């Protein structure tokens, strides 16, 4: 069984496939291209949770054989000091941080409104194995539709989610689509910038993409071991 990897943009997709050298095999799927490299089928699904969910669902529906897992991957913002620029994070939980409602008493998550869900929990064993193989920091990765750009918003997010290590824009959408197909999901991010006031001069996108390439080279044996054992069936049960 293979693993589907969903990134936001082609630069992230190419960073993943670069871990395996050569030119990836390219296949068309509805609305995107799949780049096959190592045990991974990688697509750039677009920015934001809606695009990520749609691209993931299309790829899962079009697959000729079931995928063992889906990985949301790319670069993202890290919460200092836990996740400095250039480091890796792997989600122990994927949380939709701004899915809900504003009220006079503050933000209420969608679950507090009595419907929906705002959290997905990747398989603990897979998170642990990926963290050990790559050196990634496990923790909560927040999915936001608007990237954080102020100290005040950073403080709000950390107050609401004390275990947060990073934020990005696609993880929850990927996990939501994967759950509809009964496939476990994971999120792996390389930190390109600190969450907080926007300072483009301090961003290290190239370094983060290089870290992502290295991470997927180390992740491949973990994923291949995962797909050969009965962990997937136990997860689905």
Give 131-154 pLDDT, tens digit per residue. 999 999 999 999 999 999 999 999
The angle, 0 to 180 degrees and rounded to 10, between the axes of the packed helices 171-180 and 49-62 is 30
Q: What is the pLDDT of residues 173-216, one digit of tens each?
A: 999 999 999 999 999 999 999 999 988 888 999 999 999 999 99
Instruction: Read off the pLDDT of each residue in 87-116 and give the average, rounded to a whole number.
Output: 92
| Nearest-angstrom CA–CA distance, 88 and 212 | 8
With CA atoms as reference, report the closest residue to 188 among 231, 151, 222: 222
Question: Which DSSP string corresponds to 149-167?
Answer: -SHHHHHHHHHH-TTEEEE
Look at residue 126 and tell me whether its pLDDT is greater than 70: yes
Instruction: State the average pLDDT for the chain.
Output: 92
| Nearest-angstrom CA–CA distance, 137 and 205 | 19
Strand stretches in 79-196, DSSP E: 88-96, 100-103, 106-109, 119-120, 137-143, 164-168, 185-194
The angle, 0 to 180 degrees and rounded to 10, between the axes of the packed helices 10-17 and 205-228 is 60
Retrieve residue 151's tokens: 């100290």
Phi, psi at residue 102, to the nearest 5°? -85, 135
Instruction: Read off the pLDDT of each residue in 157-164 and give the average, rounded to a whole number.
Output: 94
Residue with tokens 């997905």, as numbered in its chain: 120
User: What predicted TM-score, i.e. pTM, was given to this entire model?
Assistant: 0.92
């Amino acid at each position: 069984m293979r693993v589907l990897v969903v990134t936001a943009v082609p630069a992230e997709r190419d960073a993943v496939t670069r871990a395996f050298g050569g030119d990836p095999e390219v296949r068309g799927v509805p609305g995107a291209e799949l780049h096959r490299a190592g045990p991974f089928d990688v697509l750039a699904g677009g920015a934001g949770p809606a695009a990520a969910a749609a691209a993931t669902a299309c790829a899962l529906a079009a697959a000729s054989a079931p995928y063992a897992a889906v990985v949301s991957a790319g670069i993202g913002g890290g919460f200092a000091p836990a996740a400095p620029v250039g480091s890796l994070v792997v989600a122990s939980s994927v949380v939709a941080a701004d899915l809900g409602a504003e009220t006079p008493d503050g933000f209420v998550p969608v679950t507090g409104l009595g419907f929906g869900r705002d959290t997905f929990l990747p398989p603990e064993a897979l998170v642990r194995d990926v963290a050990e193989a790559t050196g990634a920091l496990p923790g909560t990765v927040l999915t936001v539709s608007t990237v954080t750009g102020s100290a005040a918003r950073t403080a709000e997010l950390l107050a609401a989610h004390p275990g947060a290590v990073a934020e990005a824009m696609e993880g929850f959408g990927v996990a939501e689509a994967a759950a509809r197909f009964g496939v476990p999901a994971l999120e792996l991010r390389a930190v390109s910038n600190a969450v907080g006031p926007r300072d483009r001069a301090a961003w290290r996108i190239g370094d983060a993409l290089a870290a992502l390439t290295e991470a997927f080279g180390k992740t491949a044996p973990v994923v291949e071991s995962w797909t050969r054992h009965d962990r997937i069936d136990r997860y689905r049960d």
